[in-house]
Structure 1
Amino acid sequence: MPLPKTAHTSRPWRIHEFTKDFHLEDVWALPTPGGPDDFPRLVQLIASQNDPNDFSLAYRVLFAIRWKLGALFGWDNSDTGIASRVPSLRDRLPADLRDAPPGPNFQSVPFHSVFLTDNEWAAEIANRTVHAIMHIGWVPNETGGYRGQMAILVKPNGPLGKLYLAAIRPLRHLLVYPAMLRTFHRTWQSQPA
């Protein structure tokens, strides 16, 4: 479920300390109810989500088109990513976060973990269009438990990046996020707590 941006900006997240030049694009409640100690389980679920068949056909087709366009136009070449076109967000971290393990490696998507705390995890991706951060938090819910919350922060790369973000906005809201959230919910429910 989409949330107002204040659901992210009003929380005392560490991510706020070093992303002032990023724009908060989206905030979503994740259908992952749990207890106070379930955050590591959510982080592992997201990082290890690697079976494309877990996602809807529309989702898979959309991402296949995106990767084909990226290959055709060179959006995802090695010289367009983290440490090539843009420095890693890890370079901005305060010492306590930089010296801690960054979090898990992703199994099937080109995101890189930046930092992990007991209730907050950030991962980044960069290409020719954008430098983006996926921020996952563990927040109290309305029923006295906890749930995940996802925020997407972006820094477009020039006019191409702005055009790209505008073009994919409806697709993210109508296809990508709903399909991703259904998959997270189904996987979360099927895993032992």
Structure 2
Amino acid sequence: MSQGRGLPITEHTGRPWRIHEIAADFQVLDVWAFRAPGSGPEDFPVMMAAIQAAEEHEPLVVRFLFAVRWKLGALLGWDDPQEGLAAGGRVTPLCERLPDDLRQPISGTSMPGMPFTYLYTLPDERAMELANKTVHGVAHHSWVATENGDYELRMAVLVKTNGSFGRAYMAAIAPFRHLIVYPAMTRQWERAWRDRHELLSQSGTEQT
């Protein structure tokens, strides 16, 4: 059974993540977590790699919702390059705010098959951004010790909405995020962690 659950916003804001200094003017919208049984402090990159390897098995309902979203975006111009992070686009990329110690070869590069751009990766946190006509957003993953010695994966969603249109859009999709997308996402995390050795072996990225 999935151990995914929503958490209070303070579970993100109260920890010393590096994203705070980069996206201080963004609102923390949601925080979601999945406890990974038997995990240790060094398993964050394993978890991230397993999730990436499992993406082709993404739940059908999530794939459908995102397909509808991207189709609407294409029809209505929500995702046009000038609305996003491209040169001369609507927003200034957060990559430009990165301090020198967080600038990495992946910073500012696109994530394969996803509308996100990498910001940085550390041993216990990773951040990526996207922008379109509705929001400038950040997905922040972190690796947190639990009271029983295991670790859990957390994802915080940070946004800066684009005026009243962006606020209305985020309010409209809130039920889908909370009732469908996040629960399905954490079930995928559960499968990725459970099957991590097989998934990483198949993808050629087995980690020890």
- Please give the TM-score of this superposition, normalised by the length of structure 2: 0.85
Aligned to 1:12: 16
What runs of 5+ residues in structure 1 fail to find an aligned partner?
none
Partner amino acid, structure 2, of 1:74: G
- In structure 2, the partner of 1:121 is 126
Distance 1:187 1:131, change over 3 A: same
2: distance between equivalents of 1:42 and 1:82? Answer: 28
Q: Does 1:32 align with 2:43?
A: no
The residue type equivalent to 1:133 in the other structure is: V
Distance 1:187 1:161, change over 3 A: same
Change (3 A) 1:99 1:62: closer
Amino acid at match of 1:42: M
Q: Is 2:136–2:161's contact at 8 Å kept on the other side of the alignment?
A: yes
**Any conservation in 2 of the 1:47–1:106 contact (CA below 8 Å)?**
no
Q: Report deviation, 1:58.
A: 2.1
Query: Where does 1:28-177 land on structure 2 (aligned, <5 Å)?
Result: 28-33=32-37, 34-51=39-56, 54-83=57-86, 84-99=89-104, 101-102=106-107, 106-177=111-182
CA apart distance, 1:102? 3.4
Q: Aligned residue for 1:179?
A: 184
Cα distance in 2 for partners of 1:76, 1:100 equals 25
Shift, 1:30, TM fit: 2.1
Tell me how many residue pairs correspond in the alignment.
191
SS at match of 1:134: strand
* Structure 2 unaligned regions, length at least 5: 198-207
Q: What whole-Å deviation, never above 9, does each CA across 1:149-185 have from its counterpart, x for those lacking one?
A: 1100000011111111000011000011111111111
What's the CA shift for 1:35?
A: 0.6
Tell me, in whole angstroms, the C-alpha distance in 2 between the residues paired with 1:131 and 1:156. 6
Indicate if the aligned counterparts of 2:50 and 2:196 stay in contact, CA closer than 8 A: no
Shift of 1:106: 2.5
**Conserved in 1, the CA contact under 8 Å of 2:47 and 2:192?**
no
Moved more, 80-89 or 145-154: 80-89
Give the TM-score, by structure 1 length.
0.91
C-alpha contact 2:141 2:156 (8 A) present in aligned 1 = yes
